[in-house]
Amino acid sequence: MSERFTGNFTQQEPLPQASIDAALAVMQHGRLHRYNTAPGEQSETAALEVEFAALTGARYCLAVASGGYALGCAMRAAGVGPGDKVLTNAFTLAPVPGAIASIGAVPVFVEVTPDLVIDLDHLAEQIAASGARVLLLSHMRGHICDMDALMAICDAAGVQVIEDCAHTMGASWNGVPSGRHGLIGCYSTQTYKHVNSGEGGLLITDDANLMARAVLLSGSYMLYDRHDAAPRPEAFEELRLEVPNISGRMDNLRAAILRPQLRDLDGQVARWNRLYRGMEDGLADCPGLRQVTRPGGERFVGSSYQFLLPDWDAERIGALVERCAARGVELKWFGAPVPRGYTSTYASWHYAAPPTLPRTDAVMAGLMDLRLPLSFSEDDVALIARIIRAEVSSLWQAAALSD
């Protein structure tokens, strides 16, 4: 009888008891708004910002309402406005081009490689062709490109880099934390990310002017002196009557939930990576399946897993998705003709007037994706890999016999 997986691909672990206790304390005193503090009290949100700045090695940090808000706020702070062109990966999730469109800017898509990172040759071409001076770089699904090479290209062309680190909190390139190569790093604390507050976001930078703008944009009113991971008050003097309030603050309840999780992040990363390596081992040398190469300079966080089915037609991939689903394994297919759930391709974002990107299309056509929540055990992952391997092998062999 065929094995079947009975777990849930969207079930997260319970919040740690320290997060629950901290949340209860905030609810009991009722001061949920970040600027509603007792005399002499540091708000939970301000404390979170200090701790996340220290964790990443950044001078400044701002906590906001969502990862998408963080991206939009970062671009506004960097001076991006209506009509400006912003480079970004063609392989990403909808909130990234959505953040560009939300400020009236124009996404300029860059091809992706079979290892799911931005194509640096095409990036250089698009910089020259578009004249864009900002790159919103998405470390999509936790895959980090050669950041030294990327920054050399961008620095030489005068292109500012804003990093979308929604999938790389806790990751690094050649020892430099993700989010610390570019001008600004943006993170998400949405439920499916590496720390969980339901929704939420964080920005980091070493640039005092940029952070002052971001704090004012987030809706600080004239209370910016209550930010303990922000520039000194004088950095705000020439800006405070010029920068609009586009409210998107994080509240103390979510900050309280997040602070204990940050302390556990390294341990959680190690657990995710054991699950990821288990998937790699279980699918090693599977006929018809290509695993994604992880470069030596990358310290990644394996909270999801991707593989490619090169040269498979849509009918056969659809059959694989159905067969795996019948055995309890939820595969997401980025190349499906109709977007489903979180998965879509650049061609689905009609508001961005996307071009045709043949190399990206070839990659997306056979790209499969699955979450690896920490509610899974290593035995769970081994079972999932056996099921995928069996169904891929069966369909591959059937196709070979019919040729």
Residue 287 clears pLDDT 60, i.e. is over it: yes
**Residue 350's domain is classified under what CATH number?**
3.90.1150.10
Instruction: Mark whether 103 and 237 lie in a shared domain.
Output: yes
Express as a percent the part of the chain with pLDDT over 90. Answer: 94
Q: How far apart (Å, rounded) are the C-alpha atoms in residues 95 and 49?
A: 23
Q: How many domains does the chain have?
A: 2
| Owning domain of residue 312 | 267-402
- What pLDDT is recorded for position 65? 98
- What pLDDT is recorded for position 306? 98
Q: Do residues 395 and 34 touch, judged by C-beta distance below 8 A?
A: no
> For the residues 318-347, what does the mean pLDDT come to?
90
pTM equals: 0.96
> For the residues 24-35, what does the mean pLDDT come to?
98
- Tell me the average pLDDT of the chain: 96
- What pLDDT is recorded for position 332? 95
Instruction: Mark whether 280 and 384 lie in a shared domain.
Output: yes
Express as a percent the part of the chain with pLDDT over 70. Answer: 100
Instruction: Mark whether 42 and 66 lie in a shared domain.
Output: yes
Give the confidence band of 253 by pLDDT, cuts at 50, 70, 90: very high
- What pLDDT is recorded for position 1? 54
Q: What is the pLDDT of residues 254-278, one digit of tens each?
A: 999 999 999 999 999 999 999 999 9
Higher pLDDT, 28 or 340: 28
Quote the distance between the C-alpha of residue 220 and its chain's center.
26
Residue 175: exposed, middle, or buried by beta-carbon count in 10 A (0-12, 13-18, 19+)? exposed
Instruction: Mark whether 110 and 193 lie in a shared domain.
Output: yes
**Residue 161's domain is classified under what CATH number?**
3.40.640.10
Helices marked H in 30-113 — which ranges?
A: 44-56, 67-77, 95-102
Residue 216 falls within a domain, yes or no?
A: yes
